Amino acid sequence: MPSAPSESQSFRPRHLSPSSASTFRQCPRRWKLRYIDKLPDPKGEAAVLGTFVHEILEHLLTLQPDHRSIDAAKKIARELWDQVLEDEDFQALAFSDDDAKEFRWKAWRLIEKYFAIEDPTRVDVLRAEQELAVEIAGVPFFGIVDLTEQISDGIRVVDYKTGKAPSSRFVEDKLSQVWLYAAALAEQKVEVSEVRLMYLTSGSIDRPIDSQAVSQAVSSHRETWDDLCQAIDIQQFPYKTGPLCNWCPYLDHCPEGAVEAERRYGPRS
């Protein structure tokens, strides 16, 4: 008689977000250490900065349109700063007072860039920071959509990015996140007509809805889910070394990644 599956074999994640899928594709071992073993994965400065900037924009865009001024954004940033200081990911960065000041300036410079790219008083907000938990092609999907807005010919989904824009060969890959949001919104009977990745450092990447790109993103998400379930069932999470190993929070748990990081960037201090 076949033995009953062990607890770890029968485990299934509650949902698969675009970032979790991307971690699995980048390195199954890293995914396991984070999502099954639940080892801490401190966010790092770029992600903490991104969260702060997203929160400022979220609060700004939920104001009445004619109140969305740069002074209002400043006031929101000041009000949110105390929360940032208490955030454990921010505290883990162990900033000096000068570092914290510089961090705050970096956030503010991104907000100023946002105002240079877009006039928030003209954004017709439908939803900001919308949590989506739906099943897409049999996969339990979860994502947080930064913004859905009404535009002249339909609805646009927007994801704000605080990092550097990708080079042209990686653009399609980056767009898969917003295509998935379009698929998730369609499950809720919201038909998206355009997607936008807004890089605050450099401007927007816009695409009209493209059903082929949406189904490709959905199939790829499904494929990742199937691979992930299989990895859980056979309890095999192979490592995939690469340039990102140097920034992996699990280097101390991964001898192969440590060797790779040293080969590329020299001994760790």
Task: Enumerate binding residues for ligand SF4 (CB under 6 A).
Answer: 27, 29-30, 239-241, 244-245, 248, 250-251, 254, 256-257
Judged by beta carbon, residue 229 or residue 244, the one nearer ligand SF4 is 244
Burial class of 56 by CB neighbour count within 10 A (0 to 12, 13 to 18, 19+): buried
Residues recorded for the chain:
269
CA–CA gap between residue 213 and residue 136 (Å, rounded): 15
111 HSE (CA, 13 A, CB side): 29
Going 82 to 87 to 92 to 93, the CA torsion angle's sign is: negative
94: left (phi over 0), alpha (psi -120 to 50) or beta: left
At 29, which amino acid appears?
R
Judged by beta carbon, residue 186 or residue 244, the one nearer ligand SF4 is 244
**Distance in Å, CB of 231 to ligand SF4, minimum:** 13
**Distance in Å, CB of 23 to ligand SF4, minimum:** 9
CA–CA gap between residue 129 and residue 51 (Å, rounded): 12
Judged by beta carbon, residue 128 or residue 254, the one nearer ligand SF4 is 254
**Distance in Å, CB of 228 to ligand SF4, minimum:** 15
CA–CA gap between residue 218 and residue 237 (Å, rounded): 23
- Scan for tokens 């440590």, then name that residue: 258
**Distance in Å, CB of 41 to ligand SF4, minimum:** 10
Judged by beta carbon, residue 32 or residue 156, the one nearer ligand SF4 is 32
Judged by beta carbon, residue 158 or residue 245, the one nearer ligand SF4 is 245
Judged by beta carbon, residue 203 or residue 242, the one nearer ligand SF4 is 242
**Distance in Å, CB of 24 to ligand SF4, minimum:** 11
**Distance in Å, CB of 186 to ligand SF4, minimum:** 33
Judged by beta carbon, residue 16 or residue 245, the one nearer ligand SF4 is 245
**Distance in Å, CB of 262 to ligand SF4, minimum:** 11
CB 24 within 8 A of CB 222: no
What distances in angstroms separate CA 61 from CA 9, 25, 97, 121, 144, one per listed residue? 44, 33, 30, 8, 16
What are the backbone angles phi and psi of residue 149, rounded to the nearest 5°?
-130, 150
Residue 104: closest CA among 146, 47, 53: 53
> Which residue minimizes CB distance to ligand SF4?
257
